[in-house]
Amino acid sequence: MEETTSLGSDQNEAPQNTGVQDMRALNDLIHRESAFIDLIKHEMKKVIIGQEHMSDRLLIALLADGHILLEGVPGLAKTLAINTLAKTVKADFSRVQFTPDLLPADLVGTTIYNAKTGEFSNKKGPLFANFVLADEINRAPAKVQSALLEAMQERQVTIAEKTYQLPKPFMVLATQNPVEQEGTYPLPEAQVDRFMLKVVLDYPKREEEKLIIRNNISPEGFPKPNVVCTPEDITKAREVVRKVYMDEKIEQYIVNIVYATREPEEFKLNGYNRMITFGASPRASISMALAAKAYAFINRRGYVIPEDVRAVCKDVMRHRIGLSYEAEAENITSETIINEILNIVEVP
């Protein structure tokens, strides 16, 4: 289906309704504060061959103060990419391998009795880190999944009626095998919605796989990333990301995209109301706006254009649309619906 409105030749021009001096100052600020982004990308490319989409989305989630879910078959460098990103930032990192016998206390911590002093003390779990890698998150049952909700949403953990604030920045990076595989559990909808982005990975290209082989069998050993920034740099950059200018027309564009998943017939998406059991939540609108600002920041721009929204839309929305049995029977995926929405919703 053809797009009803083109993006226009002037979409990369600075907004006219903001002060020229203010926009120039904002662009200068973003150029200074985003300098470390190129360094992180360089270090990640030393280790991760291909998968540039995944690397960029990891950065977007990091800059937008969100969590990210990576889905793909084993062996696609999901864990390696997250571990590499954590190493480029001089921050605390913990990894939890999710298994069917994992307990909530294995994540948040527990209360321990000291026989010598006769007192109880709280021992903090692996969630108390800047980067928390939840490896194969869908291999643990719902009770363990629920233990993450407070940490992901409130940035705090409660142990024995005592609440602890998590360090800043705090980010959950989860990997997931496709749910069709044996021994996996579907994630609760409430938790899935807490992930700002869901990135689906595919196999590398032939030339990329040759380079992957060389990296892993090289006599010099596997490449190691260098530390190029600190948690303080990330926290400061997050504040700048929120300063990226977003015009009201862009806000309305985001709202229309999200609203089209709730009332498809209003946007002439006839028949799709039978395919969608529930549309995206307001959290999708917030996440899309923040992700678009982070995308503009990565591209050294002080304002959001429609293409920024379109670039992050699938990763923000694909896990927030409920599909009916009829949609599954007709092989209609959430990405099919998102593509139709992007084609039909008018671009500012």
Copy the structure tokens of residue 344.
């039909």
| pLDDT (average), residues 286-294 | 96
Please provide the DSSP assignment of 228-285 as one string.
Answer: -B-HHHHHHHHHHHTTSB--HHHHHHHHHHHHHTT-GGGGT-TTGGGTEEE---HHHH
Q: Kindly report, residue by residue over 195-230, the tens digit of the pLDDT.
A: 999 999 888 888 988 888 888 888 877 788 899 998
Is residue 193 exposed (0-12), middle (13-18) or buried (19+ Cβ within 10 Å)?
middle
Most confident of 19-28, 59-68, 133-142, 172-181: 59-68
C-alpha to C-alpha distance for 170 and 148, rounded to whole angstroms: 12
Q: Residue 13: pLDDT above 70?
A: no
Q: Kindly report, residue by residue over 142-153, the tens digit of the pLDDT.
A: 788 878 888 888
Q: 348 near 249, Cβ under 8 Å?
A: yes
Tell me how many degrees the CA angle 60-338-343 measures, rounded to the nearest 5: 110
29's CB contacts (< 8 A; 6+ apart) are 240, 243, 302
Neighbours of 11 (CB within 10 A): 13
**Domains contained in the chain, CATH given:** 1-33+242-348 (1.10.8.80), 38-239 (3.40.50.300)
C-alpha to C-alpha distance for 125 and 145, rounded to whole angstroms: 15
CA dihedral 189, 82, 43, 238 (to 10 degrees): 50
Q: Kindly report, residue by residue over 62-110, the tens digit of the pLDDT.
A: 999 999 999 888 888 888 888 888 889 888 888 999 888 888 888 888 8
Is residue 219 exposed (0-12), middle (13-18) or buried (19+ Cβ within 10 Å)?
exposed
Most confident of 33-37, 78-82, 235-239, 329-333: 235-239
Q: Of how many residues is the chain composed?
A: 348
| pLDDT (average), residues 32-39 | 87
- pTM for the structure as a whole: 0.85
| More confident call, 94 vs 20 | 94
| More confident call, 255 vs 6 | 255
186's CB contacts (< 8 A; 6+ apart) are 138, 179
Q: Kindly report, residue by residue over 141-180, the tens digit of the pLDDT.
A: 778 887 888 888 888 888 877 888 998 889 999 888 776 5
| More confident call, 192 vs 251 | 251
Alpha-carbon 257 to chain mean position: 19
Is residue 346 exposed (0-12), middle (13-18) or buried (19+ Cβ within 10 Å)?
exposed
The region that residue 176 occupies, defined by phi over 0 for left and psi between -120 and 50 for alpha, beta otherwise, is: beta
For the chain, report the end-to-end CA distance as a whole number of angstroms: 18
C-alpha to C-alpha distance for 334 and 245, rounded to whole angstroms: 29
